[in-house]
Amino acid sequence: MKKLGEFKVNLRLTDEAKRYLADLMRMSELENPILEISWGKWNHETEYRWLIGFHDRENCGGWLCTAPEFEFLIIHPSLAERLNDRVLDIRDTKASIH
């Protein structure tokens, strides 16, 4: 991983998010997957939203965030503050941060 920096982020997961991410990781064909959390639009969407995905830890870059239960990547350092002391929930494959 091409690490640009590190943050400690108090981001917690709901039980639903834990199950969803565990299922995604099991289905992944990546050897050493790591979660990425970003804020943006997908394809032709018009609204910004939280996006999640997995990357191979050895072939990605960004800021490494260490949360109490897991590690994840962010592409822009300002997201560390936006995610701190929040909860990641996933319902119907859509990520939300509360």
SS3 label, residue 2: strand
> Can you give the pLDDT of all 98 residues of the chain as single tens digits?
788 899 999 999 999 999 999 999 999 999 999 999 999 998 888 999 999 999 999 998 899 999 999 999 999 999 999 999 999 999 998 999 99
Q: pTM above 0.85?
A: yes
Geometric angle at alpha carbon 24, from 20 and 30, rounded to 5°: 155
DSSP 57: G
Q: What are phi and psi of 16, to 5 degrees?
A: -60, -45
- What SS3 state is found at 76? coil
Q: What is the pLDDT of residue 3?
A: 83
CATH topology of domain 2-97: Hypothetical Protein Aq_1857; Chain: A; (2.60.300)
> Is 95 in contact with 36 (CB distance < 8 Å)?
no
**For the chain, domain boundaries:** 2-97
